[in-house]
Amino acid sequence: MTERISSSTLEIKDLDVSFIQGEKEANALRGISLSLKRKEVHSLVGESGSGKTVTSTCIMGLLPPQVARINRGEIFLGEQNILALEEKDQRKIRGKEIAMVFQEPARYLNPTLKVGEQITEMLRLHLGMDKGEAVTRALEILDLVGLDGGKRILGSYPHELSGGMKQRIMIAIAISCDPSFLIADEPTTALDVTLQLQILNLILSLKNRLDMGILFISHDLRVVRDISDWISVIYAGRIVESASKEELFSNPRHPYTRMLFESIPDADKRGKRLKAIPGKVPDAENIPQGCAFHPRCPIAEEICGSNQPETKDVESNSALDSHTAACHLIGKQWKN
Amino acid sequence: MEKLIELKNIEKVFKSHKLISVKKDDYVAVKNVSLDIEKNTIFGLVGESGCGKTTLARSVMLLDPPGSGEILFNGTNIAALSGKDLKPYRARMQIVFQDPNSALNPKMSVYNCMKEGLVNIRYPRDKIRFRINELLDLVGISPGHAERFPHEFSGGQKQRIVIARALSMEPEFLVLDEPVSNLDVSIQAQIINLLLDLKDEFSLTYLFISHDLNLVSYLSDQVAVMYKGQIVESAETEKIMESPLHPYTLRLFSSAPGQEKNELFEAEEGYSDGLPDGFTYFPPCAESLLRLIDTGDGHKVGCYAFNGS
Amino acid sequence: MEFLLFIVRRFLRLILTILIISTIIFFVIRVIPGDPALVVAGIDASEDDIQAIRARLGTDVPVAIQYTRWLGDIVRFDFGESMISGASVNKLIMERFPLTLTLAVLGIVLGIIVAIPLGVMSAVHRWSFWDYFGMVYSQMGMAIPSFWLGMILLLVFAVKIPLFPLFGSDSLKNLVLPAIALGFARAAVILRLTRAAMVEELSREYIITARAKGLTDRMIRYKHALRNAMIAVVTVTGIQFGYMLGGAIIVEQVFSLPGLGRLFLYAIYQRDFPLIQGGVVFIAVIFSLVNFAVDILYSLLNPKIRIS
Ligand SMILES: Nc1ncnc2c1ncn2[C@@H]1O[C@H](COP(=O)(O)OP(=O)(O)O)[C@@H](O)[C@H]1O
Ligand SMILES: Nc1ncnc2c1ncn2[C@@H]1O[C@H](COP(=O)(O)OP(=O)(O)O)[C@@H](O)[C@H]1O
Ligand code: SF4
Ligand SMILES: [Mg+2]
Ligand SMILES: [Mg+2]
């Protein structure tokens, strides 16, 4: 077996990424910083188009090289800046150190390869197992992700399995080489509530068993509530607020975060209008000047349209944890 | 209250079309569904995907070859009508599907997409442009964007356009089949607000289909829970929220994200523990035909093991 | 079990197709105005001659009876005798078929050997030398008629540089140039399709998964993408093979090969109706069999199809 690097932190520092298409430049990430420890779930929450998937594909080293340009930033796996590695060394990290689960398992599994092959090929490549060992290990993994009837499942094709089972297979593939970090990009968005809960439970139990650090991506604050230790809110390629889960839920400070909470429908709000966030996330090609959120922000003032707010520490309910937000008017009162 | 829509024993079977087939694999997607929708209310239908919600919706809209059962619209059984007799009813009920992409022709501008329907109902030609602008404005799309093509709009905007097109038929009844399931929560709220405004403005009646119980309980007056093609429980929203009776309803409630949970609820297939009094075993219910029992005040629960306690 | 059922279903479809085709052939020949016997007999034949020819053709009885006989013949695979040589049509076809089949197989094999690797290379290294080469090749393949290519090949490789024999059909060597002439254009079609299919598959989401697993580019291309691309490639290759049997007729002319093509061509010149009928049905059967084989192969490659 090859030797393990086994790092205990994954740290993204000031990541800035653009997509270049002819004359146009889409500045998808504008200085993202995130840090992830093993045994911890860090959730990244924001609307579609805010840069969540670009962040995760960049960590995996999977940005399309023809169009993507990394303007700035570093990604440290332990001591090593993986962005500076050559493709062949990055490949040894992918799947083995950092693994990823995608939103739509039906499209992200190869339709013509048996599930067994899709799991074992990685074990053979990264861990140097022979076929027999790999199958034994694959059966253990299926058990771990809560799929019984292992042999039969290994011999089936993706389309023969239900949506929930397919997502379990994606997870099985991701954890098969016992990675230190798992990136889960909206793994439950395509699933119903009951299946969603099952998958969330599974991810949580795997984290505990395998001591993984998890970057969990979602557009729905409700979904991340039960599983996160830490939450960062992303808007137009920047982290606008970051705090521990308890802190963020009890004391959201950034106007965007607060509005995300308010737009959630539930029975308590019956008869009242939902507080929708007007407008939509700006295209990465067309980020507004100043605070990118200002066209949608109910408390914006003149400064918001001209100066980009710095990320600053804000008062935290808990003395231990830091709580940061990027807003000029963090203390401003607003009525609902 | 006046009933606008009454469904009586709707059943829909998908026949297998195989030339030669060892076993007959007809599939009963909707079994014996009956429900009443009152005028100017929202009737919520929840259930997990594959339980038959869309099939029921399409049956109600008479989009598929009809199954059995009656569909009363203002007292007229439209399932028995055809051709010319049916046509006026077609415009009076409209449907909005989950995926606006499949509802909008990518090669047609928004204006042309909407014009089609209006021409079809013989709307005065010289007033069509004015009408389309009015409708787009109503759903929050700038009429100046009418010449754009669907791909130039975001998911939420496309859904607004689909809603505008449905409204152009001046319907009384709208079936909304997971109209916001593909959208972000923040955008969902915009569309939900729009739908609520439109309902008030035009006295509409909605059948709102979703797998999101939070959403359904936020906006509907009545809720029915569907499981494997059957309605297992139905009641006024407050009642079903306060005292859900069917184990499947309980399970849906406790799996909804954001519900306060002391510990995570282990949702497993085929559990039988922790059922409320009056129920014995749950999975077999799915196999046999349920009888809906009224437990009082229109709170109906279907369970063949319910012993009335 | 599912799979067996699938094969049975496809086989029944095959039988149905053949039945329909032969019915069409029957009516095209019988029902269109003009008595075949008159055509065969020529202008100055006597009434008796014509009557005799009608008897031989079997057109002297009502159409309904002719049709039942025809179906009977088809089921027994018996098309009677050639009006010119008197030999059984089956025997004539079977004598010539092996050559045509070898030619077509050789042509398609050559086509595949050229087209699939080139198509894959073009897709994987887009805008590289190989991609441009592939583009030029497929343009030429579409534009150059096979009889012209055949003549050029003969001129260059049999006359100027006598690498291959000019005449004859007794060794494989004789078939090389005809196979190239035949396979050239088909390869162009397969090449374009392979490239398109590979490009498409490489942009699919499961490729991202494969990359996220840390697989090598080779594994991603040849194990993951190619496997899926082959589904479309096999179908088109099968259809091309069917065309090839038709194309062989012309190429056999150019190379003076005594294959089916020449047999049928002469049958048409000489108005040998039984042979024409038999030939058309035979080609139709071969076509359907190829399609049948493609269907089976397709379903083996595409696990989804077997269920539906
Ligand atoms: N390959 C690409 N080419 C150009 N723009 C892209 C590409 N991928 C993503 N983007 C842009 O980057 C922004 C962020 O996208 P994404 O990370 O997919 O959002 P999210 O995952 O949060 O929904 C969007 O504006 C999107 O249009
Ligand atoms: N045209 C069809 N032919 C056969 N089966 C179908 C067809 N449409 C739907 N079904 C089946 O009927 C069931 C219910 O589907 P659907 O009504 O779409 O569920 P939902 O909308 O609740 O997700 C599913 O099991 C589905 O596979
Ligand atoms: S900086 Fe201004 S516009 Fe941005 S979130 Fe704060 S108040 Fe709103
Ligand atoms: Mg995304
Ligand atoms: Mg549906």
Q: What φ, ψ does residue A271 adopt, rounded to 5°?
A: 85, -15
Distance CA C250, CA C238 (A): 20
Distance CA A320, CA A39 (A): 19
Q: What φ, ψ does residue A46 adopt, rounded to 5°?
A: 180, 165
Residue B305: is its pLDDT beyond 80? no
Q: What tokens appear for A167 in the block? A: 């997502």
Considering just the CA atoms, what is the radius of gyration of chain C in Å? 24
Percentage of chain C beyond pLDDT 90 is: 29
| Residue of the CA atom closest to atom 10 of ligand 1 | A28
| Residue of the CA atom closest to atom 10 of ligand 2 | B29
* Band (B276; pLDDT cuts 50, 70, 90): very low
Q: Do C55 and C109 belong together in one domain?
A: no
Which residue ranges make up each domain of chain B?
3-107+170-242, 244-309
What is the total count of domains within chain C? 2
Residue C81 lies in a domain: no
Counts of helices then strands in chain A (DSSP H, E):
12, 12
The CA distance from C211 to the nearest CA of chain B, in Å, is 27
Residue A289 lies in a domain: yes
Q: Do C10 and C116 belong together in one domain?
A: no
Residue A274 lies in a domain: yes
Residue A292 lies in a domain: yes
Residue C65 lies in a domain: yes
Q: What φ, ψ does residue A326 adopt, rounded to 5°?
A: -115, 95
Top mean-pLDDT range of A137-141, B249-253, C280-284? A137-141
Range of the domain at C272: 89-307
Distance CA A114, CA A84 (A): 35
Three-class SS state of A30: strand
Residue A221 lies in a domain: no
Give yes or no for a contact between C170 and C259, defined as CB atoms under 8 angstroms apart.
Answer: no
Residue A63's closest chain C neighbor by CA? C208
Distance from the Cα of residue C248 to its chain's centroid: 8
Q: Do C152 and C246 belong together in one domain?
A: yes
- Tell me the mean pLDDT in the region A51-65: 95
Q: Is A102 on the interface with C (CB under 8 A)?
A: yes
Give yes or no for a contact between C305 and C231, defined as CB atoms under 8 angstroms apart.
Answer: no
Distance CA B100, CA B150 (A): 9
How far does residue B16's CA lie from ligand 4's centre (Å)?
38
- Tell me the mean pLDDT in the region B229-234: 90
Higher pLDDT, B260 or A63: A63
Burial code (b: 16+ CB inside 10 Å, e: under 16) for A55-71 equals bbbbbbbbbeeeebeee
Give yes or no for a contact between B222 and B41, defined as CB atoms under 8 angstroms apart.
Answer: yes
Residue A39 lies in a domain: no
Pairing of the two strands B68-73 and B42-46: unpaired
pLDDT tens digits along B12-57:
998 765 555 555 667 889 988 999 999 999 999 999 888 899 999 9
* Band (C214; pLDDT cuts 50, 70, 90): very high
Residue C59: is its pLDDT beyond 80? no
Q: Do C55 and C97 belong together in one domain?
A: no
Residue A265 lies in a domain: yes
Q: What tokens appear for C68 in the block? A: 């039942």
- A178 Cβ contact partners less than 8 Å away, ≥ 6 residues apart: A210
Q: Is residue C39 exposed (0-12), middle (13-18) or buried (19+ Cβ within 10 Å)?
A: exposed
Q: What tokens appear for C44 in the block? A: 């100055």
Boundary residue ending a domain (C42, C75, C108): C75
Three-class SS state of B102: helix
Q: What tokens appear for A327 in the block? A: 């807003």
Q: What φ, ψ does residue C75 adopt, rounded to 5°?
A: -60, -40
Residue A152 lies in a domain: no
Amino acid identity of B264? L
Residue A192's closest chain B neighbor by CA? B48
Q: Is B142 on the interface with A (CB under 8 A)?
A: no
* Domain CATH code at residue C276: 1.10.3720.10
Q: What is the DSSP letter of B275?
A: P
Tell me the count of B-C CB pairs closer than 8 A: 10
The CA distance from A238 to the nearest CA of chain C, in Å, is 24
Nearest to A276 among B190, B218, B265 (CB): B190
* Band (A155; pLDDT cuts 50, 70, 90): very high
Give yes or no for a contact between A110 and C224, defined as CB atoms under 8 angstroms apart.
Answer: yes
Location of structure tokens 């085929």: B270
The average confidence (pLDDT) of chain A is 92
What is the total count of domains within chain A? 1
The CA distances from residue C253 to C82, C99, C101, C151, C261, in Å, are 21, 13, 15, 11, 8
Nearest to C211 among A62, A109, A159 (CB): A62
Range of the domain at A319: 251-336
CA dihedral of residues C267, C273, C276, C277 (deg, nearest 10)? -170
Boundary residue ending a domain (C75, C102, C137): C75
Distance CA C52, CA C60 (A): 9
The verdict on the CB of residue A149 being under 6 Å from ligand 1 is no
Give yes or no for a contact between A250 and A317, defined as CB atoms under 8 angstroms apart.
Answer: yes
Pairing of the two strands A181-185 and A98-101: parallel
Q: In this structure, is the dihedral angle defined by the CA atoms of residues A279, A285, A286 and A291, taken in order, positive or negative?
A: positive
Residue A319 lies in a domain: yes
Distance CA B268, CA C212 (A): 31
Distance CA A214, CA A227 (A): 10
pLDDT tens digits along A237-252:
999 999 999 999 999 9
The verdict on the CB of residue A28 being under 6 Å from ligand 1 is yes
Residue C113 lies in a domain: yes
Residue B268: is its pLDDT beyond 50? no
The average confidence (pLDDT) of chain C is 86
> Tell me, which fold does domain B3-107+170-242 have in CATH?
Rossmann fold (3.40.50)
Three-class SS state of B38: strand
Q: What tokens appear for B115 in the block? A: 């014009």
pLDDT tens digits along B93-145:
999 999 999 999 999 999 999 999 999 888 999 999 999 999 999 999 999 99
Residue in A55, A99, A61 with CA at minimum distance from that of residue A81: A61
Higher pLDDT, B91 or B307: B91
Residues of C in contact with B24 (CB under 8 A): none
